[in-house]
Amino acid sequence: MTTATTTLPTITKIGGRIGAEIGGVRLGGDLPEETVAEVRAALLAHKVIFFRGQDHLDEAAHEAFAQLLGTPVAHPTVPSVDGRYALGIDSHHGARANQWHTDVTFVPAYPAFSILRAVTVPPYGGNTLWANTATAYAGLPEPLRALADSLRALHSNEYDYAAVRPDALPEALAQYREVFTSTSFLTEHPVVRVHPETGERSLLLGNFVQRIAGLTGRDSRALLDLFQAHIERPENTVRWQWRAGDVAIWDNRATQHYGVDDSDEHERTLRRVTVDGDVPVGPDGAPSRLISPETVPAPAFGIASGASTAA
Ligand SMILES: [Fe+2]
């Protein structure tokens, strides 16, 4: 094989603790194996990586590329836009992601990677922020690390949508809520998970957390606020200003993200494909567990994120 036509990807860090832009790669299902390996290594090292100018991607090519990173999975409750794996993230939808979260943590084996592609971007605003939950953990004072190591938390897709979206129309909220919580999930995760590929410990929290197991509301809220504040420290984050055709890929096992809701009524449309994850384990080796329902129901197409509940 000749190397004359092979361009090595360029990797440019954006933030000190998280985020890098990758150049010289045209994403798709036909990427050479060595490029996939470099993309994957950059993803694990930088937690979120960005690619400009991927306008050639459509839903099928987006999914074909996702397959190079793992097994695409469907959202457990929200139907896709293409009947397969591409989830629509639309500014006119009933819910926006303007809360710090990790995708789909209300099931045990939540996605390992999320691949988000910008189709329509607003003239201003609508940025997305990511936070590194591994450096957030590493930066905790030792007594707080020890405390976090000992805790478990309950995650659910049932939360107060009206509180999250005070400006949403009641009908839109009711409709979104009905779809999003068509099955009500409750999962117990360790507050600290050990990354299956890097071995790093990270904080596993975000807006699907209902409470810390074994604590009452007020104590639980105080601890959640304490740990979450470390995750959200600006030094721990990177912010991306979208252009149409951009792709962001993040390691969903070591990050939280936040979609900033500041583009007024302008249209913002993105497509997300997620890749299957593994059941988290805590520092003591205890895995996450699905409390209810007994199993993750099958989606309309393919397999659902988190369907695997075996450790
Ligand atoms: Fe998200």
Range in 36-45, 123-132, 156-165, 213-222 with the lowest mean pLDDT: 156-165
Over range 186-195, report the average pLDDT: 98
CA 156 to centroid of ligand 1, rounded, Å: 15
List, in sequence order, every beta strand (DSSP E) within the chain: 10-13, 20-23, 48-51, 72-73, 87-90, 113-120, 128-132, 152-156, 186-190, 192-194, 201-203, 209-212, 237-240, 247-251, 255-259, 269-275, 289-292
- Within 13 A of 74's CA, how many CA atoms are on the CB side? 19
Q: What's the gap in Å between 101 CA and the centre of ligand 1?
A: 6
Instruction: Give the rounded percent of residues in the chain with a pLDDT score beyond 70.
Output: 91
Cβ atoms of residues 268 and 262 within 8 Å: no
Report the separation in Å between the CA atom of 257 and the middle of ligand 1, taken as the mean of its atom positions: 6
Is the pLDDT at 311 greater than 60? The verdict is: no
Sorting pLDDT into bands at 50, 70 and 90, what band is 198? very high
Residue 63 has pLDDT above 60, yes or no: yes
CA of 96 to the centre of ligand 1 (A): 9
pLDDT of 97 strictly over 80? no
The catalytic residues are: 101, 103, 257, 272
Give residue-wise pLDDT tens across range 207-220.
999 999 999 999 99
* Least confident span in 27-41, 154-168, 219-233: 154-168
Tokens found for residue 255: 């990050």
The Cα 232–Cα 239 span in angstroms is 12
Residues of the chain with pLDDT > 90, as a percent, come to 75
pTM: 0.92
Q: What is the mean predicted confidence (pLDDT) over 188-213? A: 97
